[in-house]
C-alpha cells in the first residue's frame, strides 16, 4: 500500500484526463472536475513528498521485475519535490484556465489534454528508466502540441511549426543517444547505467552519447545555441498555456540534464567545460534578448532562457554548494515563471494588449493589483528577503570557491539585467501615462467580468505569490531541502542502492 | 549485414537533415520522418544483430545455452515507431492547417508573429 503511493500522483492525473473526456461538451463540469482533481493531486503529491522526506527514496518495480530488467519508478527527494511543485503549479493554472481560456478553446478538450500534460511531467520526474523517460517526454510534447495549436489562430500556428519541429528533432536526438548508450552498456535502467558506464573502455563513444543527450535536452530546456524556438512560440498560445509551459516544460529538460549528468556521465572535464560555456552564454543571450523586447510576454520568454543559465551553471560547477543553489533556484523558478505568465495574461485582460508601447498607468487605476504583481517581480529579481536572492548566494559562493570568475560575472550580469528589464517593464506598464486604446469588440475585459471570474483570475496569482513568499521568508526550510537534494545528487550511491538493493 | 545497415542509417540521417534544412514545410516533415526512421534503424543496429537465434529457451533446458538475439531493441523500436506515427500524423495535419492559415509553405515567410493574442 505505502509502496504504491509513488504511483498515485501519476495514475490520478491519468484518471482525471480520462474522466474529463466523458464530459467533452460540458465545459462547466470540466472546470469543476479539473480544479477539484488538481486539489486532490496536490494532496497526493504532498503525501508522497512527506513519505520521501521521512523514509528516504521510494521505488516501485513495475510488475515486480527486479531493477535492471523491469521499468523502475523512483522518487528521491528531487523527484518528490518536483512532483509537488508540478501539482501546485497545475492547480494554479487549472484555476486560472477556468477563467481565462475562452469557451471556444475549452470545448475541444482543453482540460483533458492539460491533465495529460501534467501526467507526462509527473511521469518524467518519477521514472528511473531512460527509455521510459523518452516515452514521458513524448507524452509531454504531444499534449503541448495540442495545447499550443488549440484555437488555430495564425500566429499560434506559425509559432507551433517552430516549436513542433525543434521538439521532435530533440526527441530524435534523445532517441539516438539512448541507442548509442544501449549499444555501449546494454542497459536502460538509470541506476544500472550509473554502475556500468564508468567501467566502459570506449570513453570517446561515451562522450559522444553524452553530447547527444546534452543536445537533445538542451533543445528542450532552451540553452544557448538551441533556444530560438522558445521566444518564437511561447507568446502565441493563451496565457494559461504559456504559464504551464514557461513554468514547467523547460524545467523538465533541466531536470533530465541534472539526472543524466549527476548519475551517468560523471567527472568528465570536457563535459563540465562545455556546460560552463553554455551556462555563461545562455545567461548573456537571454538577458540581452529580453532587453530589446517590447512585448511583455516575449520579454518574459527571454527571461526564462536567461534564468536557465543559473541552473546549468550550478550543474557545471558540480560542488555541493553549487548544487544546493541550483536546486533552490529550480524550486523558485518554477513558481515564479508560472506566476509571471499568469500576470501577463491579467495585464492583457485589463488593457487588451501586451505591447509595452500601448500599456500604461496600471498603477494609477489598479493599485492593489499592481502591488500583488510587484511581489513576484521582486522575487524574480532576487531582492534580498525574496525567493530569488537565496539561491544566488549559494551559486556565487560556489563560483568563488572554484575561482570561476567568468561564471561569477555572468551570474551578476544576468541578475543585474533582470533588474533593469523589470524596472523598465514597471515604469512602462505601471507608471507611464498610457494611451487611450480603442475598445475591442467581443473581448472580455477584466473590468467587465463577474466577481467569481475575477476571483478565479486573481486567486492563482495570490496562491503562487504566497508560495514564492514562503520560499523567500522560509528560506531556511528550502535551503535544508535543497542541501539534502544536493547531497543525494552529489553522491549517487544512495540512488543506486535504493533502486538495486542487491548491489550493496 | 551490419555494414550495410550502418551505411543506410547514416544515409537516412543525412537525407533527413538535408530535407529539414529546406525551406518548404512539406520537405521539413519528410525530413523529420526520414530521420526518425534512421533513429529506429540505429537502435536495431546497436542492439547487435544475431541471426536465427530467437530468445526462446529450448525445451528441456533451464537457461540459454548459446548466444541469442536481444529482444529489448525490438521492443524499443516498436514503441518508437508507434510514437513517431502519432507525431507524424499530427505534423501532417499541422502543415495543412499552417498552409490554410498562412497561405504559404515557405518557412521564411512564417515570421509575422508580432500581433498579440491571448
The CATH number assigned to the domain holding B80 equals: 1.10.287.3510
Q: Please indicate whether, in this complex, the C-beta atoms of A155 and B113 are within 8 angstroms of each other.
A: yes
Its domain, for residue B35, covers 2-51+68-107
Question: Is residue A368 included in any domain, yes or no?
Answer: yes
Q: CA of A291 to nearest chain B CA: how many angstroms apart?
A: 17
Mean pLDDT calculated for residue range A353-381: 87
Question: Is residue A313 included in any domain, yes or no?
Answer: yes
Q: Are A122 and B67 in contact (CB under 8 A)?
A: no
Tell me how many degrees the CA angle A314-A256-A118 measures, rounded to the nearest 5: 120
Tell me the pLDDT tens digit for each residue of A162-179.
Answer: 898 899 999 999 999 999
Question: Is residue B58 included in any domain, yes or no?
Answer: no
Percentage of residues in chain B having pLDDT higher than 90: 42
Q: Are A369 and A346 in contact (CB under 8 A)?
A: yes
> For residues A267 and A261, what is the distance between their CA atoms, to the nearest angstrom?
9
Question: Is residue B116 included in any domain, yes or no?
Answer: no
Q: CA of B98 to nearest chain A CA: how many angstroms apart?
A: 6
Residues of A in contact with B80 (CB under 8 A): 134, 175
Select the residue of B42, B87, B98 nearest A161 (Cβ to Cβ).
B98
Percentage of residues in chain A having pLDDT higher than 70: 99
pLDDT band at B112 (very low <50, low <70, confident <90, very high): low
- The per-residue b/e assignment along A210-246, b for 16 or more CB within 10 angstroms, e otherwise, is bbbbbbbbbbbbbbbebbebbbbbbbbbbbbbbbbbb
Q: A331, A241, A227: which is closest to A286 by C-alpha?
A: A227
Question: Is residue A167 included in any domain, yes or no?
Answer: no
Q: Please indicate whether, in this complex, the C-beta atoms of A100 and B118 are within 8 angstroms of each other.
A: yes
Its domain, for residue A303, covers 267-436+443-494
Q: Please indicate whether, in this complex, the C-beta atoms of A159 and B95 are within 8 angstroms of each other.
A: no
Residues of A in contact with B36 (CB under 8 A): 168, 172, 175
Q: How many residues does chain A have?
A: 504
Hey, is the C-beta of B10 within 8 angstroms of any chain A C-beta? no
What are the distances in angstroms from CA A288 to CA A209, A409, A416, A420, A421?
Answer: 32, 15, 11, 11, 9
Number of compact structural domains in chain B? 1
> For residues A218 and A211, what is the distance between their CA atoms, to the nearest angstrom?
10
Straight-line distance from the first to the last Cα atom of chain A, in angstroms, rounded to the nearest whole number: 25
Question: Is residue A102 included in any domain, yes or no?
Answer: no
Tell me how many degrees the CA angle A311-A314-A320 measures, rounded to the nearest 5: 135
Residue of A nearest to B42 (CA): A179
Question: Is residue A9 included in any domain, yes or no?
Answer: no
The mean-pLDDT minimum among A108-122, A256-270, A405-419, A427-441 falls in A427-441
The ipTM is 0.91
SS (H, E, C) chain B: CHHHHHHHHHHHHHHHHHHHCCCEHHHHHHHHHHHHHHHHHHHHHHCCCCCCCCCCCCCCCCCCCCCCCCCHHHHHHHHHHHHHHHHHHHHHHHHHHHHHHHCCCEHHHCCCCCCCCC
Residues of B in contact with A113 (CB under 8 A): none
Determine the pLDDT at residue A504: 56
Question: Is residue B118 included in any domain, yes or no?
Answer: no
Which position has the grid cell 523518452?
A134
Put simply, the chain B residues between 92 and 111 with a CB less than 8 A from any chain A CB are 94-95, 97-98, 101-102, 107, 110-111
> For residues A363 and A469, what is the distance between their CA atoms, to the nearest angstrom?
21
Over chain A, what is the mean pLDDT? 89
Residue of A nearest to B112 (CA): A155
Question: Is residue B60 included in any domain, yes or no?
Answer: no
Helix (H) or strand (E) holding A58: strand A58-61
Assess whether pLDDT exceeds 70 at residue A337: yes
Residues of B in contact with A236 (CB under 8 A): 113, 117
Q: Please indicate whether, in this complex, the C-beta atoms of A345 and B118 are within 8 angstroms of each other.
A: yes
Determine the pLDDT at residue A440: 79
Hey, is the C-beta of B19 within 8 angstroms of any chain A C-beta? no
Collapsing DSSP to helix, strand or coil, A434 comes out as: coil
Determine the pLDDT at residue A292: 87
The CB density around residue A183, as the number of other CB atoms within 10 Å, is 17
Q: CA of A294 to nearest chain B CA: how many angstroms apart?
A: 10
Determine the pLDDT at residue A144: 93
Question: Is residue B117 included in any domain, yes or no?
Answer: no
Determine the pLDDT at residue A177: 94
Determine the pLDDT at residue A503: 65
Determine the pLDDT at residue B115: 45
pLDDT band at A87 (very low <50, low <70, confident <90, very high): very high
Q: Please indicate whether, in this complex, the C-beta atoms of A179 and B43 are within 8 angstroms of each other.
A: yes
Residues of B in contact with A158 (CB under 8 A): 98, 101-102, 110-113
Using CA atoms of A301, A302, A307, A309 in order, give the dihedral in degrees to the nearest 10: 130
Tell me the pLDDT tens digit for each residue of A111-154.
Answer: 999 999 999 999 999 999 999 999 999 999 999 999 998 887 88
Hey, is the C-beta of B20 within 8 angstroms of any chain A C-beta? yes
What are the distances in angstroms from CA B75 to CA A90, A166, A192, B40, B43?
Answer: 33, 26, 19, 11, 10
Select the residue of B35, B39, B110 nearest A161 (Cβ to Cβ).
B110
Residue of A nearest to B103 (CA): A154
Q: Please indicate whether, in this complex, the C-beta atoms of A348 and B25 are within 8 angstroms of each other.
A: no
Q: Please indicate whether, in this complex, the C-beta atoms of A183 and B46 are within 8 angstroms of each other.
A: yes
Q: Are A388 and A381 in contact (CB under 8 A)?
A: yes
Q: Please indicate whether, in this complex, the C-beta atoms of A182 and B83 are within 8 angstroms of each other.
A: no
Assess whether pLDDT exceeds 90 at residue B99: no
Tell me the pLDDT tens digit for each residue of A62-80.
Answer: 888 887 888 899 999 999 9
Select the residue of B39, B73, B95 nearest A176 (Cβ to Cβ).
B39
Which residue of B76, B113, B114, B115 to mutate against A (max A Cβ within 10 Å)?
B113
Number of compact structural domains in chain A? 1
Determine the pLDDT at residue A1: 44
Q: How many residues does chain B have?
A: 118
Determine the pLDDT at residue B118: 37
Question: Is residue A220 included in any domain, yes or no?
Answer: no
Determine the pLDDT at residue B1: 79
Select the residue of B42, B76, B87 nearest A142 (Cβ to Cβ).
B87
Select the residue of A131, A145, A165 nearest B90 (Cβ to Cβ).
A145
A125: which residues sit within 8 A by CB, 6+ positions away? A79, A82, A83, A86, A252, A255
Q: Angle of helix A203-221 relative to helix A269-291, nearest 10 degrees?
A: 20
Select the residue of B25, B98, B118 nearest A238 (Cβ to Cβ).
B118
Residues of A in contact with B111 (CB under 8 A): 158
Question: Is residue B40 included in any domain, yes or no?
Answer: yes
Q: Please indicate whether, in this complex, the C-beta atoms of A149 and B97 are within 8 angstroms of each other.
A: yes
Amino acid at each position: 500500500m505505502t509502496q504504491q503511493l509513488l504511483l498515485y500522483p501519476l495514475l490520478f492525473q491519468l484518471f482525471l484526463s480520462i474522466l474529463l473526456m466523458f464530459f467533452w461538451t460540458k465545459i462547466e463540469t470540466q472546470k469543476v472536475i479539473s480544479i477539484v482533481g488538481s486539489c486532490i493531486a496536490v494532496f497526493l503529491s504532498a503525501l508522497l513528498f512527506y513519505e520521501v522526506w521521512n523514509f528516504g527514496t521510494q521505488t516501485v518495480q513495475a510488475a515486480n521485475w527486479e531493477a535492471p530488467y523491469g521499468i523502475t519508478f523512483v522518487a528521491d527527494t528531487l523527484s518528490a519535490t518536483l512532483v509537488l511543485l508540478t501539482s501546485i503549479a497545475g492547480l494554479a493554472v487549472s484555476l486560472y484556465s477556468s477563467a481565462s481560456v475562452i469557451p471556444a478553446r475549452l470545448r475541444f478538450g482543453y482540460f483533458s489534454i492539460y491533465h495529460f500534460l501534467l501526467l507526462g511531467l509527473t511521469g518524467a520526474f518519477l521514472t528511473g528508466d531512460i527509455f521510459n523517460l523518452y516515452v514521458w517526454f513524448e507524452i509531454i510534447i504531444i499534449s503541448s502540441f495540442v495545447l499550443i495549436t488549440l484555437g488555430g489562430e495564425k500566429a499560434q500556428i506559425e509559432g507551433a511549426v517552430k516549436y513542433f519541429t525543434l521538439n521532435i528533432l530533440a526527441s530524435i536526438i534523445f532517441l539516438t543517444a539512448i541507442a548509442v548508450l544501449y549499444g555501449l552498456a546494454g542497459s536502460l535502467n538509470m541506476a544500472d547505467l550509473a554502475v556500468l558506464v564508468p567501467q566502459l573502455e570506449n570513453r570517446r563513444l561515451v562522450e559522444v552519447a553524452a553530447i547527444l543527450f546534452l543536445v537533445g535536452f538542451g533543445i528542450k530546456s532552451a540553452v544557448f545555441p538551441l533556444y530560438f524556438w522558445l521566444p518564437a512560440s511561447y507568446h502565441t498560445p493563451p496565457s494559461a498555456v504559456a504559464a504551464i509551459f514557461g513554468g514547467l516544460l523547460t524545467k523538465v529538460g533541466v531536470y533530465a540534464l541534472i539526472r543524466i549528468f549527476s548519475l551517468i556521465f560523471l567527472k568528465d572535464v570536457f563535459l563540465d567545460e562545455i556546460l560552463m560555456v553554455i551556462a555563461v552564454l545562455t545567461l548573456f543571450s537571454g538577458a540581452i534578448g529580453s532587453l530589446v523586447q517590447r512585448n511583455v510576454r516575449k520579454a518574459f520568454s527571454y527571461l526564462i532562457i536567461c534564468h536557465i543559465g543559473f541552473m546549468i551553471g550550478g550543474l557545471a560547477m558540480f560542488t555541493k554548494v553549487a548544487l544546493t543553489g541550483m536546486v533552490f533556484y529550480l524550486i523558485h523558478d518554477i513558481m515564479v515563471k508560472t506566476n509571471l505568465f499568469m500576470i501577463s495574461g491579467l495585464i492583457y485582460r485589463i488593457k487588451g494588449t501586451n505591447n509595452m508601447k500601448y500599456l500604461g498607468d496600471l498603477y494609477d487605476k489598479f493599485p492593489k493589483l499592481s502591488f500583488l504583481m510587484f511581489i513576484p517581480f521582486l522575487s524574480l529579481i532576487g531582492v534580498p528577503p525574496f525567493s530569488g536572492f537565496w539561491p544566488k548566494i549559494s551559486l556565487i559562493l560556489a563560483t568563488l570557491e572554484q575561482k570561476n570568475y567568468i561564471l561569477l560575472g555572468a551570474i551578476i550580469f544576468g541578475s543585474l539585467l533582470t533588474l533593469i528589464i523589470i524596472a523598465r517593464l514597471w515604469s512602462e506598464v505601471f507608471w507611464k501615462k498610457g494611451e487611450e486604446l480603442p475598445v475591442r469588440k467581443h473581448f472580455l475585459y477584466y473590468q467587465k467580468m463577474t466577481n467569481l471570474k475575477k476571483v478565479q483570475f486573481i486567486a492563482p496569482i495570490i496562491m503562487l505569490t504566497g508560495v514564492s513568499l514562503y520560499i523567500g521568508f522560509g528560506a531556511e526550510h528550502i535551503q535544508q531541502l535543497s542541501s539534502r537534494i544536493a547531497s543525494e545528487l552529489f553522491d549517487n550511491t544512495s540512488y543506486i542502492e535504493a533502486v538495486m538493493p542487491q548491489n550493496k | 549485414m551490419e555494414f550495410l545497415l550502418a551505411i543506410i542509417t547514416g544515409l537516412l540521417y543525412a537525407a533527413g537533415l538535408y530535407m529539414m534544412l529546406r525551406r518548404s514545410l512539406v520537405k521539413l516533415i519528410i525530413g523529420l520522418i526520414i530521420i526518425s526512421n534512421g533513429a529506429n534503424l540505429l537502435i536495431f543496429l546497436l542492439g547487435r544483430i544475431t541471426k536465427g537465434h530467437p530468445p526462446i529457451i529450448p525445451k528441456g533446458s533451464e537457461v540459454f545455452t548459446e548466444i541469442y538475439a536481444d529482444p529489448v531493441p525490438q521492443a524499443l523500436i516498436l514503441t518508437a515507431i508507434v510514437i513517431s506515427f502519432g507525431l507524424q500524423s499530427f505534423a501532417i495535419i499541422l502543415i495543412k492547417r499552417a498552409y490554410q492559415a498562412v497561405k504559404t509553405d515557405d518557412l521564411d515567410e512564417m515570421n509575422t508573429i508580432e500581433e498579440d493574442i491571448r
